[in-house]
Amino acid sequence: MLVMFCCFLCSFIATSNAGDILRANQPIKNDETIVSAGDEFELGFFSPGSSKNRYLSIRYKKAGEAIVWVANREAPLTDASGTLVLSSEGTLNILNGTNSTIWSSNSSKSKSIKNPVAQLLKTGNLVIRAGDDPDTGNFLWQSFDFPDNTLLPGMKLGKKIAKNSSAGRDWSCRSWKSSDDPSPGTFQVEIDISGYPQLFLLNGSTKYFRSGPWNGVRFSGIRTSGPNGIFVFDFVFNEDEIYYKDELVSSSVLTRVTVEPDGRVIRYTWTDQSNKWEQYIFLQADLCDVYAHCGPFGSCNIYTTSRCECLKGFHPKNLTAWSHLNFAEGCEPKTKLNCSSKDTFVKQLKKNLPDTHTSQYNFSLDLKACEKKCLEDCSCTAYANTNITGKGSGCLLWFGDLIDIRDQGEVAQDFYVRFAASGSARRIALIVFLSIILITTVVLGFYMWHVCKHRKQITEEMLENEVDYEKEDLPFFDFRTISNATNNFSNNCKLGEGGFGPVYKGTLEDGKEIAVKKRSACSMQGVEEFRNEVSCIAKLQHRNLVRLLGWSTTEEGERMLVYEYMPNKSLDYFIFGDNANKALLDWPQRYNIINGIAKGLLYLHEDSRLRVIHRDLKASNILLDYNMNPKISDFGMARSFGDGETESNTARVVGTYGYMSPEYAMDGAFSIKSDVYSFGVLVIEIVSGKKNRFFTHPDHNLNLMGHAWKSYKENRLSELIDVSVLSSDQDEVFRVILIGLLCVQQYPEDRPNMSSVLMMLTSKATLPHPKQPGFFNERKLDEADTSHSTLCLSSLNQTITIVAPR
């Protein structure tokens, strides 16, 4: 009864105009709204943030009341006296208190229409049309043609080419000044069509971020790739229109992309389960994304210390400036170009393509013809395919400087750069190459010998030199405190052997429980891991990452690290344990653990301040707190983007068999997608209660990933599930397995990134079909002998290091 009364009251308070249509000469006042069919969007006068001004806006009715479009951005109403009127000619006008028109919808079609109506469509598009003509092609005006700071599904981002019969149009999104002030800010996302189309984020008139051209599949520089089950996107490129658009896959998830006042471009998603807008950074994630960071002919690689490298065949123009990390002048060819038909082209591997501002293209040429065309024109500097699908097709030509290139394993494309014809060039290159190999071998051999002989001495030096504990702001615990806490490092307190030494449990005087990691002195590996751990984790704080509390030294000067104590051991103890142990983790807990790991990993990958690739994600590195919340531990192998990465390190493959992605184990190529692969393995292990490594099945020779894939193909997923999980919500379990399979797909570009994974986990959206997993029947590598490569470690299950075959 009371409820009914409330509803009755509410219907009076929220004076919605009951319906999605506004008719001519039926004004909407300050406190009235019209609502789209399905209740998603509403149109009315609202005040964004803490502003007192009123703006005619469209906002999500329920989803956080987020405003997605503002009409009078530049002409705020300062009081509640505004009205919206549709004139009988079909123009929307906002009138202020003294009946002056402060904003008007300007329709390009001059002819007036009969019986006009304004309607707020289900998509959030406000349209003006003839009352008896709902045909979308005949809208007199629509708000989707005048984007604000938000790109909604169904909205176009791009350009309409002006023809003499109709005007051109620019669909671009511009940020607000601040969250309280929707007047135009400085950042704008637009499609530039001056050359081959590409997406730009501008700060004023300065190019701030560039996506790279559309490569037939996606914008080549945007890393938010892979299937996500929430939206699909499309790029239309014809004589009349060039635009990007995405569409929702299911109505259970909402998504929008917003250009924020500070220049971040964020994709937001909302589900009823999350009940808030979850954020995923969409463009510009790191330094290499800054436009032209490495100057002409330079290429940015986020994994190297200096970041900038010259393209193959090029060297820095000004070595002094270059070595002072001033890259603006860029690189020049080692052999000066002197146009000749004998010029050759050097293939540049896996790059985000250069700025296409002054490029030319022809879709009907293939790569061979493309090369010929480039050779014929002296100012042509490079060429590539326009469409990477299949063997590739189309021809894209660059003229002049090549700007804004980055190394980008996941979504990259090869292209070809002009190289001066010189008979001796190849021979010289070969000689240089051989000499480098020879020298490297000698130096490496000497180094190894040296290391073995003086290992201990070197480790000490490295520690002193490379870990600046004070600089990391890490608290210091004195030895006596730690010694007392751990009962003088008694064996009773020993929790186990970590990646690089014993770990002890301790209790500080105030009762706080800690875990202390000692470094064992015997290996080089230990030192580096120790250093890594400190430099990576000290700056990171997240509820799904193990917290480093401080450091200490033994009396002999050995370093120790102090962590928060995790009472519930590690995940492998439960999921691979005996049936009693397994039963301790029911499905909701397992689901929560998967979610937690995903969140921790997302934080590592996409925190824009310090992006980290863990490289050794596995069940034994997931620790559990009192409430069985997962915490990712052991950052000994992690690489942060700000970290000094040398050539030899990239040749060192570290990780654990069974969790390593194919491209990483084979080629040493690691990226966030190799972590995604490990995550996928972990997910399937959590659901199945079996180890990927050592998995056997009576019917076939596949490993666990192969078995999961086979079960999926044969529609027998229930056979994969652990008994302790069997009785739970099967749909949810299947869904999670599917997400796991998407993560272990063979090719990194097919795997979703962690933000997509979280979106898929937290929504009920339909998932794409996974392709074949990597390593699904490759037992050879799995069973390789690891004992030589492990130094201090003995257990087979441990992290290993191998030197990648090059």
Ligand X SMILES: *[C@@H]1O[C@H](CO)[C@@H](O)[C@H](O)[C@H]1NC(C)=O
Instruction: Return the amino acid letter for 236.
Output: V
Residues 723, 728: Cα–Cα separation, whole Å? 10
Residue closer to ligand X (CB basis): 321 or 522? 321
Residue closer to ligand X (CB basis): 138 or 338? 338
Q: Which two tokens mark 599?
A: 């969140």
Q: Smallest Cα–Cα separation from 246: which of 170, 152, 125?
A: 152
Residues 149, 198: Cα–Cα separation, whole Å? 19
Residues 140, 105: Cα–Cα separation, whole Å? 10
Q: What element of type H or E holds 429?
A: helix 423-453
Residues 681, 678: Cα–Cα separation, whole Å? 5
Q: How far is the CB of 33 from ligand X (least distance, A)?
A: 20
Write the secondary structure of 217-274 as one string of H (helix), E (strand) and C (coil): CCECCCCCCCCCCCEEEEEEECCCEEEEEEEECCCCEEEEEEECCCCCEEEEEEECCC
Q: How far is the CB of 63 from ligand X (least distance, A)?
A: 28
| Catalytic-residue membership of 135 | no
What 3-state DSSP class applies to 171?
strand
Residues 295, 288: Cα–Cα separation, whole Å? 11
Pairing of strands 501-507, 513-518: antiparallel
Residues 488, 391: Cα–Cα separation, whole Å? 65
What 3-state DSSP class applies to 54?
strand
Contact 367, 386 (CB under 8 A): no
Q: How far is the CB of 70 from ligand X (least distance, A)?
A: 14
Q: How far is the CB of 603 from ligand X (least distance, A)?
A: 22
Q: How far is the CB of 369 from ligand X (least distance, A)?
A: 7
Q: Exposed (0-12), middle (13-18) or buried (19+): which is 626, by Cβ within 10 Å? A: exposed
Q: How far is the CB of 81 from ligand X (least distance, A)?
A: 6
Q: Exposed (0-12), middle (13-18) or buried (19+): which is 690, by Cβ within 10 Å? A: buried
Residue closer to ligand X (CB basis): 362 or 484? 362
DSSP of 337-385? ----TT-EEEEEEEEEPPP-TT-EEETT--HHHHHHHHHHSTTEEEEE-
Contact 669, 561 (CB under 8 A): no
Q: How far is the CB of 438 from ligand X (least distance, A)?
A: 32
Q: How far is the CB of 320 from ligand X (least distance, A)?
A: 4
Q: Smallest Cα–Cα separation from 467: which of 571, 393, 548?
A: 548
Residue closer to ligand X (CB basis): 296 or 636? 296
Residue closer to ligand X (CB basis): 182 or 506? 182
Number of other CB atoms surrounding residue 623 within 10 Å:
24
Q: How far is the CB of 171 from ligand X (least distance, A)?
A: 16
Residue closer to ligand X (CB basis): 327 or 695? 327
Q: Which residues bind ligand X (CB under 6 A)?
A: 81, 96-100, 102, 104, 106, 163-165, 186, 203-204, 216, 263, 318, 320-321, 326, 338, 362, 364-365, 387, 389-390, 393
Q: How far is the CB of 238 from ligand X (least distance, A)?
A: 10
> 450 to each of 22, 111, 524, 545, 652, how far by Cα in Å?
83, 86, 12, 37, 18
Q: Exposed (0-12), middle (13-18) or buried (19+): which is 680, by Cβ within 10 Å? A: buried
Q: How far is the CB of 362 from ligand X (least distance, A)?
A: 4
Residue closer to ligand X (CB basis): 364 or 465? 364
Residue closer to ligand X (CB basis): 164 or 492? 164
Q: How far is the CB of 78 from ligand X (least distance, A)?
A: 6
Q: Packing angle between helix 672-688 and helix 587-606, nearest 10 degrees? A: 170
Catalytic residue, candidates 148, 192, 616, 634: 616
Residue closer to ligand X (CB basis): 146 or 694? 146
Contact 710, 704 (CB under 8 A): no
Pairing of strands 28-29, 83-86: antiparallel
> 154 to each of 18, 187, 283, 618, 643, how far by Cα in Å?
25, 22, 20, 40, 41
Residues 268, 720: Cα–Cα separation, whole Å? 34
Q: How far is the CB of 385 from ligand X (least distance, A)?
A: 9
The CA R_g of the chain, rounded to the nearest whole Å, is 30
What 3-state DSSP class applies to 486?
coil
Number of other CB atoms surrounding residue 104 within 10 Å:
14
CA angle 386, 387, 388 (to 5 degrees): 120
Q: Which residue is nearest to ligand X (CB)?
A: 97
Contact 126, 118 (CB under 8 A): yes
Residue closer to ligand X (CB basis): 98 or 715? 98
Residue closer to ligand X (CB basis): 15 or 26? 26
Residue closer to ligand X (CB basis): 163 or 454? 163
DSSP state of 749: G
Residue closer to ligand X (CB basis): 304 or 393? 393
Catalytically annotated residues: 616
